[in-house]
């Protein structure tokens, strides 16, 4: 279950990462608008892509750390644990039934 969550989160991170093409289109628009000089564009593109990749890796690291913590706190349950729990539930149900009968008997007397 935790592995499935991890894969889903990491897949989502991949979608959020800006691709080089999207960054290039964004910077090209800035060049068109005169916000960036054409000769600066390749350097800006490289910096933005590198920053996006670094942030994605940092986020992946944080997600993995949190998932590892979650994995560590999950204790596997064995069939024996479930059988023991069922036995205790049966005992409790029998005690409740016995108390209910005793209370009914006391009311009729």
Task: With a cut of 70, list the residues of the chain below it in pLDDT.
Answer: 1-18, 107-109
- The mean pLDDT of the chain is 80
How much is the pTM? 0.49
Relative orientation angle of helices 20-32 and 41-73, to the nearest 10 degrees: 140
Measured from the Cβ of residue 64, the count of other Cβ atoms closer than 10 Å reads 13
DSSP alpha helix (H) spans, the chain: 2-16, 20-32, 41-73, 79-108
- The answer to whether 71 and 2 have CB atoms below 8 angstroms apart is yes
pLDDT of residue 2: 47
- Please choose, from the candidates 62, 85, 68, the residue with its C-alpha nearest in 3D space to the C-alpha of residue 13: 62
pLDDT of residue 87: 94
What are the Cα distances from residue 10, in Å, to 54, 67, 74? Answer: 14, 11, 21
Gyration radius of the chain over CA positions:
31
Model confidence pLDDT, tens digit, residues 19-45: 778 888 888 988 999 988 999 999 988
**């600066």: which residue's tokens?**
40
């Amino acid at each position: 279950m935790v592995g499935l969550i991890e894969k889903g989160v990491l897949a989502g991170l991949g979608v959020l990462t800006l691709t080089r093409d999207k960054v290039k289109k964004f910077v090209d628009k800035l060049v068109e608008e005169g916000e960036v000089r054409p000769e600066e564009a390749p350097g800006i593109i490289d910096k933005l892509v590198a920053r996006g990749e670094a942030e994605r890796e940092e986020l992946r690291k944080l997600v993995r750390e949190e998932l590892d913590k979650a994995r560590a706190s999950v204790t596997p349950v064995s069939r024996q644990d479930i059988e023991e729990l069922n036995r205790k539930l049966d005992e409790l149900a029998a005690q409740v039934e016995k108390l209910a009968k005793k209370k009914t008997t006391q009311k009729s007397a």
